[in-house]
Amino acid sequence: MDKNTTKSTISELIKLINERTFLELSNVMDIDKYVKKLTAYRFFQLMIMAQIYEIKSLTSVSKQTKDKQDMKRQLAFESISTSQLSRKLSQLPSVLFENTFLYLTNKIQLKMSYSSPLIRHITRLKVIDSTTMSMCLSQYPWATFRKTKAGVRLHARVVVTKDDTIPDRAKLLPAIHSDRSQMDELIDTDLDTIYLFDRGYIDYKQFEKLCLSETQFLTRLKKNAEIEVLSEQVPDPDQLIFKDQDVYLGNDVSGTKMGQPLRLIETEDAEGNSVTIVTNCFGLSAKEIGDLYRYRWKIETFFKWMKQHLKLKTFYGKSQNAVYNQIWIALITYCLTVLIQHNTGHSGQLLDVKKTLENLLFESYETFVKTLFRPPTRTSKGRRKYDFEHEFRILMKQYIEGEVDHLDTLDFDPLFV
């Protein structure tokens, strides 16, 4: 590669996971045996580019490798056919990309600082949830989960801080698998961590296990839950705490009654809706528990970001391996974007980083960094409108009170009146 290419933005992004590390993570001997052009690592680079550009099909990916000189230089080949891309996507083992994702999540967490916990005594809050990518049943029969519908479910765990949402672990399964079936995969025994999840994960036997292992959790309770109240604390409506009780869940008749007590808090979510929370965090105040639950929306925002800004809602291939590989590579692209943001010291929105990558992927890395930190050249019309309205109200007040005798002292654009 020439000098300019080695200093390009794409090179700086890709070197966050170099070829040697990538191949070591595959755990597959001779993964590129007899391959001359489209090696696993080159394919990996190409799919990262496809995610950043949100390219709609493998045919379009093939066309871009033929037409874009910068892409040719980065990949060191002239072109590649759609059929070759399709075979590679289907044949490469998903564990290769899953291991790469886990490697990058560990790398992110080593770089990020968690020295400022959300609340006292709790180093980390990990939120668990899932999202479903719906698919056509006739095209993806291996992913059937309803009579007329197919889908894949991404079960994810993210680390939440006041400013960041960092993916921590993920599991891909056909959507027929329930959320609560993956609790053992997504919850570890961490004494300094609280696990937060929603009603889809309610399982009293699992709750019992978590209590006995001293693993802290916090979840929302279903409306039809059977409760035995042991004691009740005085509520604090000023702090949005309407109920604070120690309870047993379940009943003896059905054999579901828990042997470990839990704390029940009734509060409001971020949108003002009433929610009932149960937790084994007896050392926290009711307000702290309510505040922690309100961070659950961050994993929803993470899923929404992934689906809106990466290639995740439609798929390049129809086999299970092809679909899983595409989702893993989307998660990897998210991690690479987080890492490049951290390495540049950018404190703005992650979407700004992704859009700048999209616009300057083959420009010099220096240009990318300068553009990322360039201040806006002009105030937006929305901001200008707000400023005018604010000034106009002040002027009207002065006019009414007789401090000015006319209204033409304010220089304004009629478009904003």
pLDDT of residue 159: 92
Residue 354 has pLDDT above 70, yes or no: yes
- Give Dmax (Cα) for the chain: 88
Query: Which tens digit of pLDDT belongs to each residue from 167-191?
Result: 999 999 999 998 989 999 999 987 7
pLDDT at 34 over 50: yes
In this prediction the pTM is: 0.85
HSE value, Cβ hemisphere, 13 Å, CA-based, for 43? 27
- Rounded to an integer, what distance in angstroms lies between the CA atom of residue 25 and that of residue 44? 13
DSSP state of 48: H
pLDDT-based confidence at residue 268 (cuts at 50, 70, 90) = confident
How many other CB atoms are found less than 10 A from the CB of residue 217?
23
Give pLDDT, residue 6: 53
pLDDT of residue 190: 79
Q: Is pLDDT larger for residue 82 or for residue 389? A: 82
Give the C-alpha separation, 237 to 316, whole Å: 52
pLDDT value of position 95? 93
Give the closest residue to 235 by CA, choosing from 282, 277, 271, 267: 267
Tell me the range of 28-42, 318-332, 374-388 where mean pLDDT is highest.
Answer: 318-332
**CA angle (179 as vertex; 174, 185 as ends), nearest 5:** 90
Q: What is the pLDDT of residue 254?
A: 76
pLDDT band (50, 70, 90) for residue 379: low
Sequence-separated (6 or more) residues with CB below 8 Å from residue 114: 123, 124, 159, 161
For residues 208 and 230, give the distance between their C-alpha atoms in angstroms, rounded to a whole number: 17
Alpha-carbon gap, residue 177 to 400, rounded angstroms: 68
Q: Per-residue confidence at 230, pLDDT binned at 50, 70, 90?
A: very high
* Cα–Cα distance measured from residue 320 to residue 94, given in angstroms and rounded to the nearest whole number: 10
Query: Which long-range contacts does 73-82 make (Cβ < 8 Å, 24+ apart)?
Result: 73/1, 73/2, 73/5, 74/1, 74/5, 74/8, 74/10, 74/11, 74/45, 74/49, 74/362, 75/42, 75/45, 75/46, 76/1, 76/42, 77/37, 77/38, 77/42, 80/37, 80/38, 80/46, 82/58
The pLDDT of residue 278 is above 60: yes
Confidence tier at 252 by pLDDT (50, 70, 90): confident
The percent of residues in the chain predicted with pLDDT above 90, rounded, is 63
Question: How confident is the model over 32-59, as a mean pLDDT?
Answer: 94
What does the pLDDT read at residue 126?
93
How far apart are alpha carbons 378 and 381 in whole angstroms?
9
Which distant-in-sequence residues (6+ apart) come within 8 Å of 83 by Cβ? none
**Span 152-171, average pLDDT:** 91
Choice between 119 and 153, residue whose per-residue pLDDT is larger: 153
The tokens of 21 are what? Answer: 């590390």
**Per-residue pLDDT at 410:** 46
Q: Which of 298, 279, 269, 292 is nearest to 168 (CA)?
A: 298
* C-beta separation of 17 from 337 below 8 A: no
Phi-psi region of 167 (alpha: psi -120 to 50; beta: other; left: phi over 0): beta
pLDDT band of residue 27 (cuts 50, 70, 90) is confident
Domains in the chain, start-ordered, CATH in brackets?
9-94+317-373 (no CATH), 115-309 (3.90.350.10)
Q: Which of 36-45, 71-80, 108-117 is predicted with the least confidence, judged by mean pLDDT?
A: 108-117
Instruction: Say which range, 100-114, 147-161, 167-181, 291-305, has the weakest mean pLDDT.
Output: 100-114
Taking residues 394-400, report their average pLDDT: 59
Closest by alpha carbon to 325, among 311, 336, 339, 337? 311
User: What's the pLDDT score for residue 416?
Assistant: 36
Report pLDDT for 5.
43
Q: With bands split at pLDDT 50, 70 and 90, how would you rate the model's confidence at 2?
A: very low
Asked if pLDDT for residue 279 goes beyond 60, the answer is yes
Q: What percent of the chain has pLDDT over 70?
A: 86
DSSP 8-state symbol, 8: B
At residue 79, what is the residue type?
S
The answer on pLDDT for 212 being more than 90 is yes
pLDDT per position as a tens digit, 186-209: 999 877 889 999 989 999 999 999
* pLDDT for res 392: 55
Give the N- to C-terminal CA distance of the chain in Å, as an integer: 56
